[in-house]
Structure 1
Amino acid sequence: MYVPQPDGTVKRKFAYGKDYDEADRRRRELLDRAQSGIPTPTRDMTLGQWFDYWLACVVKPHLSAGTHKVYSDAVRLHLRPRLGPAVMLKLGVKDLRAAIKLLAEEKSAKTARHALRVLSASLTAAMAEDIGLTRNVAKLVTVRASTDSGKSWGPVQVLRFLTEARRRTVYYPALLLLSLLGLRRAEVCGLRWENVDLDNRVIWVEQQRQRSGPGTIDVELKTDTSKAPLPLPAQCVAPLRWTRMRTAALRERALATGRPWWDDPDRHVFVTRTGQPLQAECLYQTIQRVASSAGLGKMNPKGFRKSCGTLLVHLKVHPRIIKAILRHSRIATSLDIYAEALDPDVIAAIGQLDGLLRQPATLRSLDTDSPRVEARD
């Protein structure tokens, strides 16, 4: 039969089976796909053609918009220019290793490893299609690159940062949530007032703010285990109340003076001066400015989550509880209690961390490498 291709052409394809019924069933499946306008890859498809099909028919409908963007960028910038013309079924380890080595020399080892992971994901999806691909050559090629996820701060550095943030930025409450709960920046920006219970000191992390096309939208978290209620540290309550009053005051001032104001229908906790929900990129720039002003250097985007885990380890919190606070997806079987109520151990751990960062005097003995902090104290 003739089936449509991702590039808009039509090619002949055969359906095989162990007997007539199996072959006929596969033939009817191909006909149904063709009548629905769904492209069907063939054995002579190039990697460039497969990337188009994979991104449009596999990644975009089933994965998040952020993942689709990451994969699309890797394909557009690194994979298609080097491997696009190659026939997918004829791609060998030798040719792939040479292309990845050249990419590592031109860009970096981390870039090459990331591109290799994207290629591996696409070839794994190709093995599920009826095109004859039986092995993933990307898994046979390795790239040696640093796995450093960024530095983490100790209690003294976190305290210095929060002290500086209190004076420097109105988004100090957001930085408190990053430091004490290890939330992701996108999760903080996606936090809504309906997710915050200041009286009972509980917040629910249910969505994150991500860029999509020309603007930003709230999207679901990647895994169900990331959706979890967390105890709100005591020192976060007053700053969050102040944030709510600030938003109301900004709105009244804008309406009274005729300045532009955007009424947020979702009532995000952290907004800009014009009422727009705060973006993760803006929060990241705020973090860097505060860190530089405090003399702490540049902070890795994931540094706060790592610092939160480091501080909890310092407090001798059980690793299971640390993973519960950070909501790592690899321990989904151990987080079922989040569907019902808060874990008492999680509440105790957050309380200990809150208490640690409330006592500057006790931190002086921990600062063995920073005479600047001693002088300032």
Structure 2
Amino acid sequence: MADPIKKITLASGKVRYRFVIDVGLNPDTGKRKQVTGTFDTVTEAKNEYARLRHERAAGTLVVPSKMTMAHLVNAWLKEATVDVEAATKRSYEDAMRYVRTRLGDKPVQEVTTADVQELIEWMLTSARRIGGKPGTGLSVRTVDLTLGRLRAALNMAIRDRLVVRNVADYAKVPRQARKEDKARRRARKPWNEDEVKAFLAYCASGRLYAVMLLSLIGLRPAEVCGLRWVDIDLEAGTLSVEWTRTLVAGVVIEKDAKSTAGERGLPLPAPVLAALKVFHRRQAKERLAAGEGYKPSGRVVVDELGAAVKTDWLRRRAYELMEAAEVRRVRLYDARHACLSWMANNGVPDTVVSAWAGHADLSFTKRTYVHPDPQSLKAGSDRLADLLG
């Protein structure tokens, strides 16, 4: 076998030792990739050549590369978003936008754990551009999502032999930031029983009474907007949750339920069934009044001309009603929390609460959606009084 180390003489007369070694294929072009090494002594050249051969055989060889983080993000998104839903794809793109902004120009092989930690600090303090006051911090949940996607992208870089280790594995959200985020989430409380009743009392005579009731029996906003009249049996008093309708990056997305557990049949509480019957008759009158201007969509939640609505439309109408009813403003998801908490705190079995919510994981329902309210805590106090009295 020919000696791979070649002696060369430069124009200046200086002698050096050079080798060329195959290190694999270029993932972009599929062509052979080579590394050239030039050293002052034959011993240095032989040692480096042996190291490269050993790491190539062991699968640990990292070839010098000028790939930037922006390039890596693009490559990861292309691979990770194959055959995923539009909402998932958008969430990945949104998460990696912060990486692209903060680290995009930096070569992948030069990124350090300190760089990732600085990214985290920036996100927590001043990265917000939309959805609030620009220049303020983002939620810990948003940071966690970005950090998770960044780790996945760097794992791909390890697989492609661009880096030896994942520097994002050693970065973390500061403990104080998590404590403050937990306090903010704890301060955001769902409605209690009195607030629910006050809100519904105000809505009772309005057009959207049935719609608000649907939001208060534990359906997700996208499920409320995706509900069709064919999904409701007004005679049997049942409802089938099968479709969702939401807005993703300005585009309306209609798809089947979030999961197998999300596809569920629910018996309708009597007040909800009665309100839906009234709403169904009202829509028939609206259709007659509008004539050719009516655009029937088959959806339950529609505007006065029959057009299906999006979750942002539902949210705005709900906030308007909350303000008019003079009740505390909460997110529609908090209304869902209120429903599930009330069920759990009033003796409904955990398995039923989880199935009603459309969750496959019972522990997730209890951990995320069930909140002890003052009434249920008072009941606990009364039980303890019986024990201790």
Q: Does TM, scored on the shorter chain, surpass 0.5? A: yes
Which structure dedicates a bigger proportion of its chain to strand? 2
Determine if contact 1:262/1:274 at 8 Å carries over to the other structure: yes
| Deviation at residue 314 of structure 1 after TM alignment | 3.0
Cα–Cα, structure 1 residues 131 and 230, in superposed 2: closer, same or farther, change >3 Å? same
Aligned to 2:88: 67
Unaligned runs of 5+ in 2: 1-23, 35-51, 127-134, 366-374, 379-389
- Range moving further from structure 2, 244-253 or 323-332: 323-332
- Cα RMSD of the aligned pairs, angstroms, is 3.5
Separation (CA, whole Å) in 2 of partners of 1:136 and 1:329: 34
Separation (CA, whole Å) in 2 of partners of 1:210 and 1:283: 10
Aligned to 2:122: 102
| Deviation at residue 272 of structure 1 after TM alignment | 0.9
Tell me the amino acid that sits aligned with residue 214 of structure 2. L
Alignment of 1:32-181 (within 5 A): 44-59=66-81, 61-76=82-97, 78-106=98-126, 107-111=135-139, 113-124=141-152, 126-128=154-156, 130-132=159-161, 134-135=165-166, 137-138=168-169, 140-143=171-174, 144-145=177-178, 146-147=181-182, 148=185, 150-167=188-205, 169-180=206-217
Higher RCO (CA < 8 A, seq sep 6+)? 1
Which structure dedicates a bigger proportion of its chain to helix? 1
Determine if contact 2:123/2:138 at 8 Å carries over to the other structure: no
SS at match of 2:246: strand
| Deviation at residue 13 of structure 1 after TM alignment | 4.8
Tell me the amino acid that sits aligned with residue 318 of structure 1. P
Cα–Cα, structure 1 residues 319 and 164, in superposed 2: closer, same or farther, change >3 Å? same
Alignment of 1:1-377 (within 5 A): 3=26, 5=28, 13=33, 44-59=66-81, 61-76=82-97, 78-106=98-126, 107-111=135-139, 113-124=141-152, 126-128=154-156, 130-132=159-161, 134-135=165-166, 137-138=168-169, 140-143=171-174, 144-145=177-178, 146-147=181-182, 148=185, 150-167=188-205, 169-180=206-217, 182-212=218-248, 215-255=251-291, 260-264=293-297, 267-331=298-362
Separation (CA, whole Å) in 2 of partners of 1:321 and 1:136: 43
Normalised to the residue count of structure 1, the TM-score between the two structures is: 0.70
Cα–Cα, structure 1 residues 136 and 320, in superposed 2: closer, same or farther, change >3 Å? farther
For residues 165-224 of structure 1, give each alpha carbon's deviation from its aligned partner in whole angstroms, at most 9, with x where no partner exists. Answer: 123x412111111112x1111100000112111222221111110124654231123322
Determine if contact 2:70/2:104 at 8 Å carries over to the other structure: yes
Determine if contact 1:161/1:291 at 8 Å carries over to the other structure: yes
Unaligned runs of 5+ in 1: 24-41, 335-362, 367-377
Separation (CA, whole Å) in 1 of partners of 2:170 and 2:231: 42
For residues 121-147 of structure 1, give each alpha carbon's deviation from its aligned partner in whole angstroms, at most 9, with x where no partner exists. Answer: 243255256313543615631142413
Pairs aligned (count): 305
Separation (CA, whole Å) in 1 of partners of 2:357 and 2:364: 15
Determine if contact 2:350/2:362 at 8 Å carries over to the other structure: no
SS at match of 2:261: helix
SS at match of 1:75: helix
Tell me the amino acid that sits aligned with residue 215 of structure 2. L
Separation (CA, whole Å) in 2 of partners of 1:11 and 1:84: 26
Separation (CA, whole Å) in 1 of partners of 2:328 and 2:33: 59
Determine if contact 1:93/1:140 at 8 Å carries over to the other structure: yes
Determine if contact 1:187/1:209 at 8 Å carries over to the other structure: yes
Tell me the amino acid that sits aligned with residue 152 of structure 2. T
Normalised to the residue count of structure 2, the TM-score between the two structures is: 0.68
Separation (CA, whole Å) in 2 of partners of 1:43 and 1:204: 54
Identity %: 23
Tell me the amino acid that sits aligned with residue 194 of structure 2. V
SS at match of 1:159: helix
SS at match of 1:247: helix
Determine if contact 2:116/2:171 at 8 Å carries over to the other structure: no
Cα–Cα, structure 1 residues 110 and 329, in superposed 2: closer, same or farther, change >3 Å? farther
Cα–Cα, structure 1 residues 125 and 204, in superposed 2: closer, same or farther, change >3 Å? farther
Determine if contact 1:91/1:137 at 8 Å carries over to the other structure: no
Cα–Cα, structure 1 residues 159 and 17, in superposed 2: closer, same or farther, change >3 Å? farther
| Deviation at residue 58 of structure 1 after TM alignment | 1.5
Higher-Rg structure is 2
Determine if contact 2:25/2:32 at 8 Å carries over to the other structure: yes
Determine if contact 2:216/2:336 at 8 Å carries over to the other structure: yes
Aligned to 2:130: none
